[in-house]
Amino acid sequence: MAQGPTSDACAKKTELDAVDAPVENADAFLQHEPVIPDIHLIIFASGRMSGRLLTWRASPEMEFNSLQHWGDYDPVCVAEYVRLKSGCGDRVTTFVPDNLESILKRHGKRKLMTGQVETLTHLRLDESDSHVARMIAMFDQYRKGLEQEVLYSEKFPDA
């Protein structure tokens, strides 16, 4: 009777020193390259990465592989970054353009904050992560969130 590969063999196949990026929506999935070109694998997360995929990404077999989260810049997506980071630790970063604050100020949408007050309140419980603290400060200052689509939209070539 034939057997499948051993867990050691599977581990060897996944030992990639690479950065993968979960993205929130299909449009960003298809148009990511101008914004985040140095990514090994784009993962269409459809808003939130599944628990099964997160468990696999957090496994010891994937310890050589990093995740660079790329979603909207709003409380729900910051909470997803925190969720990924709690599962995978320091292997998780998030994509933040150098000029995020000026883009948020100019092109942000107040509607992205509507209905996310509870999520923002929960994020405030632990602002020890510098990305979380920075985003909360911008949300408080501008009362806006930013859709990731702005970063590759032809409407905003200077974004």
pLDDT band at 7 (very low <50, low <70, confident <90, very high): very low
pLDDT at 52 over 90: yes
Mean pLDDT lowest among 13-22, 29-38, 92-101, 112-121: 13-22
Out of 3.40.1360.10, 3.40.640.10, 3.30.420.40, 3.40.50.720, the CATH code matching 15-151 is 3.40.1360.10
Residue with tokens 């590759």, as numbered in its chain:
152
Q: What is the mean pLDDT of the chain?
A: 85
Tens-place pLDDT, residues 23-43: 888 888 887 888 888 888 888
Q: What is the pLDDT of residue 16?
A: 58
CA–CA dist 68, 42 (Å, integer) = 10
Percent pLDDT > 70 in the chain is: 86
pLDDT of residue 36: 81
Residue 57 φ then ψ, to 5° = -65, -25
pTM exceeding the 0.85 threshold for the entire prediction: no
**Is it the case that residue 144 has pLDDT exceeding 50?**
yes
Lowest mean pLDDT among 36-40, 64-68, 97-101, 137-141: 36-40
Q: Where exactly are the structural domains of the chain?
A: 15-151
Read off the pLDDT of residues 103-116 as tens digits, 9 standing for 90 and up. Answer: 999 999 999 999 89
Collect all residues with Cβ–Cβ distance below 8 Å to 108 and sequence separation of at least 6: 73, 142, 144, 145, 146
Would you list the DSSP string of 107-154? H-BGGGTTT-HHHHHHHTT---SHHHHHHHHHHHHH--BB-GGGGT-T
Q: Which residues contact 15 (CB under 8 A, 6 or more apart)?
A: 61, 64
Q: Which helix (H) or strand (E) holds 44?
A: strand 41-44
CA distances to 15, 68, 121 from 88, rounded to whole Å, are 15, 11, 23
Residue 11: what pLDDT?
47
Q: Say what the pLDDT of residue 154 is.
A: 54
- pLDDT given for residue 30 in this prediction: 81
Q: Which pLDDT does position 19 carry in this prediction?
A: 86
